[in-house]
Structure 1
């Protein structure tokens, strides 16, 4: 249950609906947005949120999701339920493309991860919630094939859609060719006899092929006069020899249209039994459009899914009002995030504080985000937030006075309170702004306290804003209700827009009055009227809030220092482990060196024995060999001992120096205030960038999600943002720039010029010099934008304009060839120009 009826308007959800509609691809999704409603079914809400979360991943990670053809053909399908009615070519074309989109979406969502399987052997889907949505949707491959047999890739009826249509079109083509040949023969005869100018060709009038003739010669050619030129200098005659053939063409065109209608009617009869299943598939397409729009809105709001639980809880971190965020972003400002907690032990939060301090924004943020969540939308808050489900949400905010119903502001508030008290329970969330306001403060505060007592007894959840002192005292003395304050900087006299739960807030009425310049004697009189006790209590309240902020800051600093200490201890323990590991490594290497020396010693002993044997045991030689061996052993032992001691000593000295340097660095850091870590600014439009590992510098034209469109020289390319790095603008030689560099502004101008360029020009009725000037500009533009073929409409008439234009075209180097248009499309009245 949602109360009152204009609940969505009060919290701004009507604007959320409009933003969602703007992101839909068709009326299919827009209808879903209109039907979107508040739900208190945890399973249903969670399923819808998971669908949106999965689609956000698709937008961020996938490039191949099929979302190009979202056409709503439901009206056409419902219309052809009546026997004899049919879908026209365009409707059939839209049906085919949208059915192909449905088929591709279902195929995309039902694809599986090949490398993973569940324990019971089932395949693991990348998007399980969306796959479940697509589970029983029909895709009609045979119907798509049937339409492909009727329509070509441009949506036109194929010649071979039926045998009858193929016969008709072949006869139509043959008859048209016969007429063209007959007209050319008649025209040549008339030209040879001087009835018609040499450069005249057959043309088309009212769907019939005719010959342009001067009015004075019209009786020289037998036939029917169908039309004359605007100047009256040319009449168009259909020779008698081709009248029957032209009539046959009209008959064939009628037969062609009847055959097309027959084909479409027959196809409509085929799909008529499948219309219910088709409509079900389009409901799926509508749901996909709706989910896609919600995912795009979530990305725009930087929203996500909090920890969602099937109970009544509201424990939010970094919650942001999305509409306020969009509004402030236009002025370069940011919303201060909201942290709020409602639990079964602290169900009702009573917020007090100065006017314009953010109390109403806090209230609306709670209402809008909870409503968005229970409508299946992602919400802008930290992912470690916890959110629950409420069965009722009530709101009382703003002025509800009504002349028609004879209700004052206070009466309307009391009416709302009556509805809330009657309908609320332990699963309800109530949102009340300026509780008890609108009437005499003493009795208003008393009634508000009595109503608050009933809310608390019913164990309902709520966020209430007020200025009444008695309500603040009530919150302090009753379990289930907790005070909260919107913080205010008393020294700078500005609101901080931060909610602090635990203590009531001061209205700062005296300070604000003094700031705006109210006379001091007025302030003194007011203080005397309310009494020193009230003033002192308000001052003590301010001091408590100030002290709490101070100690909260202290506590955060202590936590920060403790964390730094833990990190330092962990770092020292890691260094000690590295030191022990280094010692073992040194001993191991020393042992290996000793073994090597021992091997060398054995080799030396063997050499000594061999020397003794070779000297035939001469005493002096033996004594010298033994002495040499003894000296070598002593030398080896000394080297080994010295080497090990020196290596260990050097390593220990290095480690000691390293630790001393760290201590000195830390002491220096404590003396010097810490510099803030450099903020890495994300890549934005117009930044100069380069692909990591490369040297070419480009400029960012556009950013779409994780991709960016970058202009490298004269080439645009699409690159992922994580592969780019910011760099300085390229330093270019000025003279070289003039010759080779084309500015982006020029490129944009050329691109726009090419898009708007029309390949036909009409110079009929112009004087010769005007026509030549127009054609000159036209041909120059065509060559500039790179068009290969253009058409000049000059009419037939006397042929002077045609002659002048062709004489000019013969002198243009960029013109490769020019000729008359085909007789069916204008003949000699149009010159077709091919450009190099």
Structure 2
């Protein structure tokens, strides 16, 4: 139950509806926005919210969702239920595109992905998949429309054999008229009856010649029209009158044939209209969900934790309309934190006027209502939101001249209905509770009503200035005080709700800020008494001190969190450093052990190398000295008793070994040159030499040598490279070029053919109506092409009929080695009338 009737207007939900309509793609979704209603069913609300949240992910993450053609053709479909009525071309075009959109949406939402953890196929959008589960998509109907309309929505010439004949005769007759007119026009121009730049034109659907009025008798024919100035008349020559008449007849025949085609189609569609209308209800729902998702993205709304009980535990909740309004002025809304549970069900909010009490009240009402209408709301994801069966609101001036009700009488009427109808599953929202009459009796009645609300276990948010209601909240369980904070020094509202203490009205401070005479303020203070003034002052001090210590506490928590994060960071870094240190030391030890094990083998290899190279005594001495140094280094490593010394020794050893290796290679190279003078020399690279880059196959010719660089011609490219990167080749560049060109020519031609075939290849083939041998031959060529072009999936449309064609095709498919699997299409997309083939 929602009370009163203008509840949506009071909380601003009518504006939400207006914004949602602006985000719909068609009247389909707009109707759904009008039909959107409050629900108290947990499963229904949760499912609606899940649908919207999944669509938010589609908008943010998917690029291929089909939302192009949301056309409402329901009025046209309902019209053709009457015998003799038919869909015109535009309606048929809209029907085709919207049916294709429904089909594509169903395919998109029912697709599955492999879940590695669950080891099964799952849908990325389960709630939307459930919505699309039973929707029929009419593939045969789309195919039938495609046989009638071209891609631009016009009737095809071959929509029927009769239409094809008519249009061919129309084209032929029009061509003959054009030729005759041009001949007559050229003759008239040569005689001077008509200007040289005149061309035939169309008047009343007939081709005519523009002629000056004074020369109209020079051309035999019928005058059809004249220009607005009277300086030109339009004559249909007698020679083309009959042909023009024939064109009129053919155009009439064309219109009648088109109407016949559309009527026949409408007769076919008429039995399916109820099912088609059901599919459009699905399209309307998708448009509606999409609009809610777009609005949620605009307002940063989420789905809070929904609970099937009565609770409000909101963090940083924001009024969406206020958010959008302030954003235009680059301002931000102060978020609302509020908590209502079974221990504190009713919140009494007090504070100064214009401090945000009414905004707080409307925010609670609007967000709760939005959630129970299936809309995400702008608040923190840690928020919890419950479900209420009834929401009552009493806000604003309800004075009624017609019913002879004053403002206070109207408020009392609302209180009477609330007390009668509310229960533990109700949420009441009352602004300026008890206002509109004499304060003492008004406050007393308000306290008595509040007591009834509390006894019934009702949840609520109530704003007031009455002191007795603040005291009631302090003394009774289930009711809690709250204050809208106010900066006493800056004399401005902070628009922040603080639960736990009542708020001051700051009446004296505001009066002093406005400039009311001080003696007036003092006299007013004396009237109410020092006790009231002091109590109000103490209340302000309490609120001020609470804000101060709350700020301190938050700062301490923030510092503690930063400290914990810093400590955690340093501990992690220390662990990583220790791990790295141990790894480095482990590798150093392994290297040392390996060097120790290989030392003897290296000594023996060095001696054998010296003997084989027949080196001089000096070189032998140097080699032995090197081995001696190596041995001393190894012994130092063995004696090292600390891990860091091992690492340093190993690093020095590596550097020393590199230097020794370079020196040894140089000496051995000199020794080899001295002791082996008879070894064949490598032929140098000269101008004209055939060469190739080391490790490459391209052959080039040296054009010029400049020091260590050579200029080489590789085919048509001249480049400069280092000589040491080149090696001689036994093949000349011309021979290599011919060989390459020959092989490339064949490959390029084949590649072009395959590419062209792949561009024109269609993954569906229609063999309905063919004889068995014709169908098998067509399918054979089709499957061969699909395998050649690397297709993963194709579809064969053979129809159901007697099933003979389906059996023949599947018998053939079972013999093809390149086919991994084949099966019936999904029942929504054609069922047994289509075979889906998966290729290896």
TM-score normalised by structure 2 residue count: 0.71
Aligned residue among 361, 364, 367 for 1:363: 361
Aligned residue among 354, 362, 367 for 2:352: 354
In structure 2, what is the equivalent of residue 77 of structure 1? Answer: 77
Tell me, yes or no, if the aligned pair for 1:26 and 1:72 is still in contact at 8 Å.
Answer: yes
Tell me, yes or no, if the aligned pair for 1:116 and 1:124 is still in contact at 8 Å.
Answer: no
Change (3 A) 1:519 1:601: same
Q: Does 1:412 align with 2:396?
A: no
Q: Secondary structure at the match of 2:503?
A: coil
In structure 2, what is the equivalent of residue 107 of structure 1? Answer: 107
Q: For residues 209 and 524 of structure 2, what CA distance do their matches in structure 1 show?
A: 103
Q: Secondary structure at the match of 1:180?
A: helix
Tell me, yes or no, if the aligned pair for 1:586 and 1:648 is still in contact at 8 Å.
Answer: no
In structure 2, what is the equivalent of residue 676 of structure 1? Answer: none
Q: Does 1:14 align with 2:9?
A: no
CA deviation after TM superposition for structure 1 residue 153, in Å: 1.2
In structure 2, what is the equivalent of residue 540 of structure 1? Answer: 538
Q: For residues 353 and 233 of structure 2, what CA distance do their matches in structure 1 show?
A: 85
In structure 2, what is the equivalent of residue 319 of structure 1? Answer: 317
Change (3 A) 1:529 1:240: same
Q: Secondary structure at the match of 1:305?
A: coil
In structure 2, what is the equivalent of residue 813 of structure 1? Answer: none
Tell me, yes or no, if the aligned pair for 1:202 and 1:211 is still in contact at 8 Å.
Answer: yes
1:731-758, Cα deviation, whole Å (9 max, x unpaired): xxxxxxxxxxxxxxxxxxxxxxxxxxxx
In structure 2, what is the equivalent of residue 2 of structure 1? Answer: 2
1:116-158, Cα deviation, whole Å (9 max, x unpaired): 5857x5x300111111111111111111111111111111111
In structure 2, what is the equivalent of residue 301 of structure 1? Answer: 299
CA deviation after TM superposition for structure 1 residue 450, in Å: 0.5
Q: For residues 298 and 196 of structure 2, what CA distance do their matches in structure 1 show?
A: 68
1:286-308, Cα deviation, whole Å (9 max, x unpaired): 10110000000001101111011
TM-align CA RMSD: 2.7
Q: Secondary structure at the match of 1:482?
A: strand
In structure 1, what is the equivalent of residue 153 of structure 2? Answer: 155
Q: For residues 299 and 337 of structure 2, what CA distance do their matches in structure 1 show?
A: 18
Q: For residues 587 and 169 of structure 2, what CA distance do their matches in structure 1 show?
A: 98
In structure 1, what is the equivalent of residue 30 of structure 2? Answer: 30
In structure 2, what is the equivalent of residue 53 of structure 1? Answer: 53
CA deviation after TM superposition for structure 1 residue 559, in Å: 2.0
Q: Report matched runs for 1:572-721 at 5 Å.
A: 572-578=570-576, 580-581=578-579, 584-585=582-583, 587-589=585-587, 591-592=589-590, 595-596=593-594, 598-599=596-597, 640-642=638-640, 644=642, 647=645
Tell me, yes or no, if the aligned pair for 1:590 and 1:644 is still in contact at 8 Å.
Answer: no
Tell me, yes or no, if the aligned pair for 2:585 and 2:643 is still in contact at 8 Å.
Answer: no
Q: Report matched runs for 1:464-475 at 5 Å.
A: 464-475=462-473
1:585-631, Cα deviation, whole Å (9 max, x unpaired): 46535533653564477679999x99xxxxxxxxxxxxxxxxxx999
CA deviation after TM superposition for structure 1 residue 550, in Å: 1.7
Tell me, yes or no, if the aligned pair for 2:408 and 2:437 is still in contact at 8 Å.
Answer: yes
TM-score normalised by structure 1 residue count: 0.72
Q: Report matched runs for 1:493-508 at 5 Å.
A: 493-508=491-506
CA deviation after TM superposition for structure 1 residue 241, in Å: 2.6
Change (3 A) 1:198 1:603: closer
Q: For residues 202 and 283 of structure 2, what CA distance do their matches in structure 1 show?
A: 46
Bigger relative contact order, structure 1 or 2 (CA pairs below 8 A, ≥6 apart)? 1
In structure 2, what is the equivalent of residue 237 of structure 1? Answer: 235
Q: Report matched runs for 1:766-805 at 5 Å.
A: none
Q: For residues 584 and 192 of structure 2, what CA distance do their matches in structure 1 show?
A: 115
In structure 1, what is the equivalent of residue 201 of structure 2? Answer: 203
Q: For residues 406 and 199 of structure 2, what CA distance do their matches in structure 1 show?
A: 86
Aligned residue among 264, 267, 290 for 2:265: 267
Tell me, yes or no, if the aligned pair for 2:584 and 2:647 is still in contact at 8 Å.
Answer: no
CA deviation after TM superposition for structure 1 residue 537, in Å: 1.0
Aligned residue among 362, 382, 385 for 1:384: 382
In structure 2, what is the equivalent of residue 437 of structure 1? Answer: 435
In structure 2, what is the equivalent of residue 214 of structure 1? Answer: 212
Tell me, yes or no, if the aligned pair for 1:196 and 1:213 is still in contact at 8 Å.
Answer: yes
Question: How many equivalent residue pairs?
Answer: 632
Q: For residues 219 and 493 of structure 2, what CA distance do their matches in structure 1 show?
A: 95
CA deviation after TM superposition for structure 1 residue 183, in Å: 2.8
Q: For residues 598 and 350 of structure 2, what CA distance do their matches in structure 1 show?
A: 89
In structure 2, what is the equivalent of residue 62 of structure 1? Answer: 62
Q: For residues 94 and 511 of structure 1, what CA distance do their matches in structure 2 show?
A: 67
CA deviation after TM superposition for structure 1 residue 329, in Å: 1.1
Q: For residues 604 and 650 of structure 1, what CA distance do their matches in structure 2 show?
A: 23
Q: For residues 385 and 331 of structure 1, what CA distance do their matches in structure 2 show?
A: 28
In structure 2, what is the equivalent of residue 86 of structure 1? Answer: 86
CA deviation after TM superposition for structure 1 residue 313, in Å: 0.8
1:338-381, Cα deviation, whole Å (9 max, x unpaired): 00000111111111111111111100000000001111111000
CA deviation after TM superposition for structure 1 residue 650, in Å: 9.0
Q: For residues 132 and 64 of structure 1, what CA distance do their matches in structure 2 show?
A: 20
Tell me, yes or no, if the aligned pair for 1:351 and 1:463 is still in contact at 8 Å.
Answer: yes
Tell me, yes or no, if the aligned pair for 2:40 and 2:372 is still in contact at 8 Å.
Answer: yes
Q: Secondary structure at the match of 1:259?
A: helix
Tell me, yes or no, if the aligned pair for 2:432 and 2:465 is still in contact at 8 Å.
Answer: yes
Q: Secondary structure at the match of 2:480?
A: strand
